[in-house]
């Protein structure tokens, strides 16, 4: 992508963590941005203003429940051109499967998996117009391995990995690349529920002896968006050598 300023990226779940870090690295490359979140609009608007001021780009902040079909459809009425879609919005749930309610299960699936169906079915026609595009899904090592006490989250990310590989095959003839990153433990708000002792125990299991950073994940997402077109259908693990 030589002429970076002509490209537009949609990044979901961008008010904090990997999404916000991704917004910054794409802005630094001159991408116009559309950022979404559900609950933290003050933070998202501040991020958008700062990125516009610092990098001289266009950056829109849009309140969207990514697990709601109608919200996503409304979001796409405001998008006429799209080059990169980063499906980052996600939620976690820790607990025994037998203690989980159907409502909690459906919420995990809606935000982590259904949202990618909603965005991709609307993003693909925009990319087909240009005969190019990148779809990058933010997954997890638990989508590869499965995690005790995180059955729904693991299932949603495993489904996302299969979704990525299947859609990549479907869109490869149209020069649209679909890839995912499978993150290990990243130092973000999603892991704030873990105690200091739990985090220390996790670090002791990771060969890199530390948690990953949101910036590292964001830089990998950008690299995938700028990778050769022949790279598609890949689940790229970034976990410090953990799995």
Q: Measured between alpha carbons, how far is 89 from 6 in angstroms, rounded to an integer?
A: 25
Q: Please tell me whether the overall predicted TM-score, pTM, comes out greater than 0.85 for this model.
A: yes
Q: Which domains does the chain have, with CATH numbers?
A: 4-187+214-237 (3.40.50.720)
**pLDDT bucket at 195, cuts 50 / 70 / 90:** confident
**Backbone φ, ψ for residue 197 (5° rounding):** -65, -40
Q: Which residues are known catalytic residues?
A: 153
**pLDDT tens profile 112-163:** 999 999 999 999 999 999 999 999 999 999 999 999 999 999 999 999 999 9
Roughly what angle, to the nearest 10 degrees, separates helices 69-76 and 115-128? Answer: 20
**pLDDT tens profile 1-40:** 344 448 999 999 999 999 999 999 999 999 999 999 999 9
């Amino acid at each position: 992508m030589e002429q970076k300023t002509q490209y537009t990226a949609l990044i979901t779940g961008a008010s904090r963590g990997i999404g916000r870090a991704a917004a910054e690295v794409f802005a630094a490359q001159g991408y116009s941005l559309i950022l979404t979140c559900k609950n933290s609009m003050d933070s998202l608007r501040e991020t958008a203003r700062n990125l516009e001021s610092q990098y001289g780009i266009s950056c829109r902040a849009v309140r969207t429940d990514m697990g709601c079909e109608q919200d996503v459809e409304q979001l796409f009425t405001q998008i006429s051109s799209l080059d990169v879609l980063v499906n980052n919005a996600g939620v976690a749930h820790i607990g025994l499967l037998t203690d989980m309610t159907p409502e909690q299960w459906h919420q995990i699936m809606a935000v982590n998996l259904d949202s990618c169906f909603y965005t991709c079915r609307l993003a693909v026609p925009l990319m087909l117009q240009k005969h190019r595009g990148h779809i990058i899904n933010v997954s997890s090592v638990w989508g590869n391995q499965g995690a005790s006490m995180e059955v729904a989250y693991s299932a949603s990310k495993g489904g996302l990995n299969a979704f990525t590989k299947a859609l990549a095959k479907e869109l490869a003839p149209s020069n649209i690349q679909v890839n995912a990153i499978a993150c290990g433990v990243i130092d973000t708000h999603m892991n704030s529920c873990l105690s200091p002792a739990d985090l220390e125990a996790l670090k002791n299991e990771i060969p890199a002896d530390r948690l990953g950073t949101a910036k590292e994940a964001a830089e990998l997402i950008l690299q995938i968006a700028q990778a050769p077109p022949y790279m598609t259908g890949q689940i790229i693990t970034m976990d410090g050598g953990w799995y």
